[in-house]
Structure 1
Amino acid sequence: MNIVTLLSALIALFIEQFRPLAVARWVTGPLTAWTDFLEGKLNAGQYRQGVVAWMIGVMVPVVAVEILYLSALWFEPLGALLLSVLVLYLTMGLRQFSHFFTDIHLALRMGELDRARRLLSEWRQQSGDRLGSTEVARIAIEQALLSSHRHVYAPLFWFALLGPAGALLYRLTLFFSTRWGGGDEALFGRFGEFSRRAFAWVDWLPARISAAGFAVVGDFEDALYCWRTQADRWPERNSGVLLASGAGALGVRLGLPVDEGPESGDRPQLGLGEEADVDFLQSTIGLVWRTLVLGILLLVLLSVASWVGS
């Protein structure tokens, strides 16, 4: 941990709050073209081809950024700082998802259920026309907890560990897993299996650190209880850890069956306490921000300790 790491994180977070990134133009569009190119050239439905495509698509850019960063750190620290800020700006940010959550919160507060459903559907890329207000609130909270982890806490963790290459590794691994690992089974077959596994590996430790952060800044006892007793019930373990801890920290019940027609999946109960409602959306905002502040304080402490130790 060095001062460049801390300054980069603070500057990137500050810029992103006042100048949100046009994600579709600068991130989603180029990455979609990149994954489509690799998939078109290498996908024959075999596992080993998925491994090769993932290595080219993820590790080649990550290694290139790491070499560039280490060179800049050695010859020109200001260049290393600028590179770090740029990579963080492209790979993380609350504003990449917070507008959905804020608008859904406002729509539910105003009693505009249809608008809240429409916003949630746009956010999740999944129909929600049958959802009631409680279900909309519940799923919005789940999305906020997962998104805050995937777009803020986890990239920051890997950035603190490996520099800009770490943040890029997480973002690319997440995108490739979503694009290939969570895609059409008939189209991707075993080709997408490695990308799904890779994301589970890369996300294992950050998910538990984020869950611990939720517990520290929320209801600690209930968060740990839900984490210990409920996380295994969720279909995807890392997400289960995050949602169980977040639900316990908030004192709200998440999961539970919802009416989404044929898209409905296995949704066991997570958390304790009351049904989700519009007030819990406000509580979720507080939990997300307190967890971010805790993470920044830890970065400051680690930077100070590194500086004193040197």
Structure 2
Amino acid sequence: MTLFSLIFALLLEQWRPSGDRNRIILLFLSYADALERYFNTGVRRHGVAAWIVAVVPVLIFTGWIYYLLYNLSPLLGWAWNVVILYLTMGFRYFSDSFAAIKDALRNGDLLMARRLLREWRGVPADESGSAEIARNTIELGLIHSHRYVFAIIICFVVLPGPLGPVLYRLAELLSERWANQAEQAPDAFGHFAAKAFEVIDWIPARSTAVSFAIAGNFEDAVYCWRAQAASWMDHAEGIILASGAGALGVRLGDSLREPDGQYHRPELGVGEDADMDFLQSTVGLIWRTLVLWLLLLLLLEIASWAG
């Protein structure tokens, strides 16, 4: 039922996107803000307590509903899985933004491409050229395809029922919400949230990197992963971007314009500089990777039925 749950959730999300900030997500973020106001005393152990209070009740409720429905009918349990996947995935969330920027660059509308990238990244991109916009868009596409599609699939396969997708999404949201505290000091309130997401994302990030390598240029992807990923600021993101860049044969990283000027980053990948053509190659890589995962799950389903 894992494969059918994913396919149905993907089709449902294509028909009616839930968005990265659907009502359930917004409700949880409000809950997280309330916990932060109550628990944040600048001490790490209070951050640990807040994270547990935020995540564990939701996991218990999600698992309880699943097993209750499954005991009534496996079909109801399957439907609950589809609902959870629909709420935690976000293929259209990043694919629509990616496609809009690609179309703007193809039409030569640099102002529109800058505006779309600014809305997606959340920071100004008024001085970015077409090559820089293409490079940043590819990076965002690779990272978001991992966080909103492939990591959810992996967690759904690894953990029972809908617990994996819920745990991953909640951990990612809390890490993002409390990141400013995590950057201050190891004893800060949000430090545990960042570390917890790092641990939870360890297997999904490497699984996505492997699948990018299989779906693209395997040799270059593995080389870039081994030689370049460790130099990136966020190691998990570095693994995904290095593998994706190697699989595509494109160079990512390097300088990035921020509101206060240039922000220099390590270079990732091999081959040519990013341009508009590589945007379409990125779309192809993401779709091939998705098909790869669905085929793998199909083989697992067939093996299960045969057993």
Same fold (TM over 0.5): yes
Corresponding residue for residue 279 of structure 1: 277
Task: State the 1:256 CA deviation.
Answer: 0.5
Return the offset for 1:259: 2.8
Correspondence 1:148 to 2:145: yes
In 1, the alpha carbon distance for the partners of 2:145 and 2:129 equals: 24
Structure 1 counterpart of 2:303: 305
Distance 2:108 2:29 in 1: 36
1:27 shift after superposition: 4.1
- 1:6-21, aligned counterparts within 5 Å? 6-21=3-18
CA distance in structure 2 between the partners assigned to 1:73 and 1:159 by the alignment: 16
The equivalent residue for 1:224 is 222
- Normalized per residue, which structure has more helix? 1
Q: Which residue of 2 aligns with 1:257?
A: 255
Q: Matched residue of 1:128: which SS?
A: coil
Partner of 2:40: 43
CA drift of 1:195 comes to 0.5
Change in Cα spacing, 1:271 to 1:27, as seen in structure 2 (3 Å) is farther
Q: CA separation in 1, counterparts of 2:53 and 2:177?
A: 15
Task: Read off the aligned partner of 1:293 and give its amino acid letter.
Answer: V
Matched position secondary structure for 1:102 = helix
Task: Decide whether the 8 Å contact of 1:88 with 1:167 is kept in 2.
Answer: yes
Which of 64, 77, 83 matches 1:80? 77
- Matched letter for residue 225 of structure 2: W
Match of residue 90 from structure 1? 87
Structure 2 unaligned segments of length 5 or more: list them: none
Q: Deviations over 1:227-280 (max 9, x none)?
A: 010000101110000000000000000000123242654410000011100000
What TM-score results when the alignment is normalised by the length of structure 2? 0.95
1:240 to 222, 238, 241: 238
**What do the CA deviations read for 1:277-302 (whole angstroms, capped 9, x no partner)?**
00000000000000001011111111
CA distance in 1, matches of 2:261, 2:57: 36
User: How many percent identity over aligned positions?
Assistant: 48
SS of the equivalent of 1:198 reads: helix
Closer, same or farther in 2 for the Cα pair 1:208/1:152, shift >3 Å? Answer: same
Counterpart Cα distance in 1 of 2:43 and 2:124: 31
Residue pair 2:154, 2:204 contacting (<8 A) in 1 also: yes
Whether the aligned pair in 1 keeps the contact of 2:181 and 2:189 (CA below 8 Å) is no
Change (3 A) 1:219 1:67: same
**Alpha carbons of 1:216 and 1:184: their partners in 2 closer, same or farther (altered >3 Å)?**
closer
Identify unmatched segments of 5+ residues in structure 1.
none
1:60 aligns with 2:82: no
Deviations 1:187-245 (A, max 9, x none): 99711000000110010111111001110010111001100100001011100000000
Number of aligned positions between the proteins: 306
Tell me whether 1:208 sits opposite 2:219 in the alignment: no
Describe the shift of the 1:35–1:188 C-alpha distance in structure 2 as closer, same or farther (beyond 3 A): farther
- 1:117 aligned residue: 114
Q: Structure 1 stretches (4+) deviating beyond 3 angstroms?
A: 182-189, 263-266
Counterpart code for 1:238: A
Asked if structure 2 preserves the Cα contact closer than 8 Å seen for 1:218 and 1:287, the reply is yes
> SS where residue 268 of structure 2 aligns?
coil
Which range moved further: 72-81 or 244-253? 72-81
Residue matched to 2:97 = 100
Equivalent residues of 2:213, 2:247 under 8 A apart: yes
Mapped contact 2:224–2:268 kept (Cα < 8 A): yes
Check the 8 A contact 1:45/1:188 in 2, yes or no: no
